[in-house]
Amino acid sequence: MQQKRLGCLTPLAITATLVTLLIIAGTVFASGSGFFNAGSLNAQTGETPLGGVTSHAAIGSECAKCHPAPWEADSLGDRCAVCHAEITTQLADPASLHGLMLGSAAKLNCRSCHSEHKGPTAALTDAEPKNFPHDKLKFSLASHPKRADGLAFACRDCHASGFSSAFQQSLCADCHRQMDAVFMAAHLIEYGQDCQACHDGLETLGKAFDHHLLAFTLAGKHADLRCAECHTNARSRADLKNTPAACQNCHQKDDPHQGRFGAACGDCHNPAGWRDSVQFDHNLANFKLEGKHAGLACEKCHTNPASFAGTPAACVDCHAKDDQHNGEFGSDCAACHNPSDWKDAKVDHSLFAFKLDGAHVNVDCLQCHINGVFKGTPQECGACHAKDDAHSGRYGLVCSLCHSTAAWKPATFDHRLSRFPLTGAHASLACERCHASGQFTGTPLACSGCHGDPAFHAGMFGSNCEQCHNTNSWNASYTGSHPGIADEGGSGVNHGGQGCRSCHTVSLHSATCTACHSGNQGGGD
């Protein structure tokens, strides 16, 4: 059985549909804008005729005055501007209503706000807040979705005399008093009646405002302040931005220094507390804090809290009461003392007449400076070492003639400074070999004082030992003329080249010629 086709899809039906559409299109094209009629036009009259009529209704069936034909280049907005020439003028003025909203728009779209064909008494402006570009009028409705009573805002709520009427700013206060009357009373006193001078409807300066995004961040006690405490007499956003950020602009009344330290309060104070958080980098001052000075409370030195500049920097100004020297050494305490410990004093003794060297370097100051008296301390050795003087003062107070600061013992003495210079074997002798019992004064200078007369001298040659002996050797030869005997040279010394003991075997008196010349009795010698 053959399937039947739907009647609307037969070739005949499709052809009939296309022909009908072509007839309609041709009719519209031929009749132009007069083909449409969506309803009666508005009959509201204006004071001055525009385009030869006082209302849209007066245009009647002349649709072409507003609606261009499809083939024409004009738009509906262009036809509106033919009659409403003032709109073109407003577009050139950015301060006007249409200038703000549209700017220099190349193509007008009047229908977005203005509707027609809704009857003779219908409103010609359809601009409810949700559809109207209010942001372009310098006040956004973003933060105003509802009134204080919870209902949605309508244009008439703010523009009481109609859409085109100027906004009355007193309505802001009226509305916000219903939400918080106490806040509004204070707010109007602090910032004035011109709400739009600060507020833009976007909460730029409202609850969404973040002070941390600015150069002056709020910290410590600043964070709890009301805006008006810093932004005094501010009446616009410009006033708020131009609020001085220097501490002294707000805190001059709190400045106990009366400006003596300039305007940079932040060098010492911080927002945590004006008085409780004072911190100062003393390295920025002429007086650096070191040692125990660093831990002192400010008022220990700055006794007048209202005055820091001019605080004396000399040690004696604070430490005069600690000065055990009673001013004997002037005011430069730092010459001996340091900030780490007042009693741990060290002095550069090389600056004084008495230089410290050797064992003196390690001696405690008070061993020489008795009872802490420094000025007038004796410089003679005996003043300190009298108790160590084994000589009981017999050699005076100039101990350094024998002793040195390296050690009290052993002592050295330059015997050349005495009446008995040491030469030969004498130079290597221990002092006590001559200075018995530590006695130095009165020590005999004659040889016989140490070198008693030998037995074989029998006192014959007196005490002048050096006529035969010298300090290099005790066994030296006699250098004088031998009495009664002449040698070949006539001097009688070393007769026959012999030493004294060759003849004087027992004593000087025991020598005889026959002891050596017994076999020469006939000779003449």
pLDDT tens-place string over residues 418-458: 888 999 889 888 888 888 777 777 888 888 888 887 777 77
In this prediction, residues 175-193 reach a mean pLDDT of 91
Mean pLDDT for the chain overall: 80
Render pLDDT for 338-364 as a digit per residue (tens, 0 to 9): 888 877 777 888 878 888 898 898 888
Spell out the SS3 assignment of 382-438. Answer: HHHHHHHCCCCCCCCCCHHHCCECCECCCCCCCHHHCCCCCCHHHHHCCHHHHCHHH
pLDDT at 498: 67
In this prediction, residues 456-476 reach a mean pLDDT of 78
- C-alpha span between 472 and 38 (Å, rounded): 157
pLDDT at 38: 64
In this prediction, residues 459-480 reach a mean pLDDT of 76
Q: How confident is the model at residue 165 (pLDDT cuts 50, 70, 90)?
A: low
In this prediction, residues 218-234 reach a mean pLDDT of 89
- C-alpha span between 320 and 306 (Å, rounded): 23
> What distances in angstroms separate CA 163 from CA 167, 243, 420, one per listed residue?
9, 37, 135
The two most distant CA atoms of the chain are separated, in Å, by: 207
The one-character DSSP state at 9 is G
pLDDT at 70: 77
> What distances in angstroms separate CA 154 from CA 101, 126, 159, one per listed residue?
19, 11, 9
pLDDT at 342: 78
In the three-class reduction of DSSP (H, G, I as helix; E, B as strand; rest coil), residue 364 is classed as coil
In this prediction, residues 500-517 reach a mean pLDDT of 72
pLDDT at 272: 81
pLDDT at 451: 83
Task: Compute φ and ψ for 273, nearest 5 degrees.
Answer: 180, 135
pLDDT at 351: 77
> What distances in angstroms separate CA 186 from CA 144, 168, 190, 200, 228, one per listed residue?
22, 20, 6, 20, 10
Q: Which is more confidently placed, 17 or 497?
A: 17
Report the percent of the chain where pLDDT is more than 90. 6
- C-alpha span between 153 and 228 (Å, rounded): 30
Q: How confident is the model at residue 235 (pLDDT cuts 50, 70, 90)?
A: very high
Q: Is the pLDDT of residue 313 over 70?
A: yes
Q: How confident is the model at residue 189 (pLDDT cuts 50, 70, 90)?
A: very high
pLDDT at 298: 79
Render pLDDT for 45-97 as a digit per residue (tens, 0 to 9): 888 888 888 999 888 888 888 888 878 888 888 889 889 988 888 888 887 87
Q: Which is more confidently placed, 498 or 490?
A: 498
pLDDT at 514: 75
Are residues 257 and 309 in contact, defined by beta-carbon separation less than 8 angstroms? yes
Q: Is the pLDDT of residue 316 over 70?
A: yes
pLDDT at 476: 63
| Contacts with 68 (C-beta within 8 Å, 6 or more apart), sequence order | 33, 74, 75, 76, 78, 79
Render pLDDT for 366-420 as a digit per residue (tens, 0 to 9): 888 888 777 788 888 888 888 888 777 777 778 888 888 888 887 788 888 888 8
Helices (H) and strands (E) in the chain, counts: 17, 0
In this prediction, residues 260-274 reach a mean pLDDT of 78
pLDDT at 168: 80
Query: Residues, the chain, total?
Result: 525
> Which stretches within 66-118 are classed as H helix?
76-83, 85-91, 97-102
Query: 307: alpha, beta or left, given left = phi > 0 and alpha = psi -120 to 50?
Result: beta
Render pLDDT for 20-40 as a digit per residue (tens, 0 to 9): 888 777 766 666 555 556 678
pTM above 0.85, yes or no: no
- C-alpha span between 432 and 440 (Å, rounded): 9
Task: Compute φ and ψ for 98, nearest 5 degrees.
Answer: -70, -30
Structure tokens at 485: 């005997």
Cβ atoms within 10 Å of 296's Cβ, excluding its own: 13
pLDDT at 249: 83
Render pLDDT for 190-202 as a digit per residue (tens, 0 to 9): 999 999 899 988 8
